[in-house]
């Protein structure tokens, strides 16, 4: 739902997806969002779509060749290179031309590095952290990391280095994640999400989608309930921060 919103320049939450204030509210129960879920439910009924679990749980289906198309992180590229016994290729995420004629950028995801502090940290420790971050930001390091894992380089310099060295020519499609992230014109709906307790909101969304896939509710009901439950999480988070 997050990527779908960004690609189609749709609001996932008010307040510019949370960047403009804590009092943001989820709105991914709009007609375009519900249409998307209805599409998945219909495909699930006719067998052209199989829900195989959350996060990376479905990945083995594509590695084994059981699935013809899989939607997932670019970081799965490394496993495909090692595991797949068939020819495969990468493509941009699909979009609905009835909603937008030219899709916008997708939003960044994946693993992150967080530097934590504490009262007893020494200047030497902070200097070491700075050196580590400086090292990670080097074009050669970013390029190598991206080639080995499938994650996008952390800097455009790392991307350009791989490009200059012919990596993307030899590995057709490996540059698609970078190009998809950088295309279009950045809008308040495509720069990412800044919402409190977002992992919890994602779990709620998945729970309601799973219930719909099991025939327990319609697409509209699933998104309405997910928004209502998610907004309670956001409200609780805002109250906790303000106190």
Consecutive sets of 10 residues in the chain, 243 residues long: mean pLDDT of each? 97 96 96 97 95 90 90 85 89 96 91 85 96 95 90 92 96 94 93 94 97 97 98 96 83
Topology adopted by domain 1-105+185-243: D-Maltodextrin-Binding Protein; domain 2 (3.40.190)
Summarize pLDDT for 160-189 with one digit per residue, the tens: 999 999 999 999 999 999 999 999 989 999
- pLDDT value of position 29: 98
- pLDDT value of position 73: 86
CA distance linking residue 99 with residue 169, whole number of Å = 33
Residue ranges covered by each domain of the chain: 1-105+185-243, 110-182
Task: For residue 10, give the nearest of 42, 39, 40, 34 by alpha carbon.
Answer: 34
Q: Which residue has the tokens 């009835």?
A: 98
pTM, whole model, 2 decimals?
A: 0.89
């Amino acid at each position: 739902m997050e990527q779908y919103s960004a690609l189609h320049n749709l609001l996932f939450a008010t307040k510019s997806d949370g960047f403009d204030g804590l009092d943001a509210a989820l709105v991914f129960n709009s007609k375009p969002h519900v249409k998307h879920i209805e599409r998945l439910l219909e495909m699930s009924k006719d067998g052209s779509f199989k829900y195989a679990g959350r996060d990376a749980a479905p990945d083995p289906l594509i590695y084994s060749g059981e699935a013809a198309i899989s939607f997932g992180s670019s970081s799965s590229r490394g496993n495909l290179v090692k595991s797949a016994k068939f020819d495969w290729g990468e493509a941009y995420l699909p979009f609905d031309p009835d909603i937008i004629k030219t899709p916008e950028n997708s939003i960044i995801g994946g693993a992150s590095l967080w530097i934590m502090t504490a009262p007893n940290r020494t200047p030497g420790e902070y200097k070491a952290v700075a050196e580590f971050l400086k090292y990670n930001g080097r074009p050669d390091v970013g390029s190598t990391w991206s080639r080995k894992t499938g994650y996008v380089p952390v800097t455009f310099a790392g991307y350009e280095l791989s490009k200059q060295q012919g990596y993307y020519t030899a590995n057709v499609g490996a540059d698609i994640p970078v190009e998809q992230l950088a295309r279009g014109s950045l809008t308040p709906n495509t720069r990412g999400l800044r919402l409190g307790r977002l992992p919890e909101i994602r779990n709620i969304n998945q729970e309601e989608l799973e219930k719909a896939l099991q025939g327990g509710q319609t697409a509209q009901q699933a998104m309405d309930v997910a928004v209502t439950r998610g907004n309670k999480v956001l409200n609780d988070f805002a109250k906790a921060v303000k106190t």
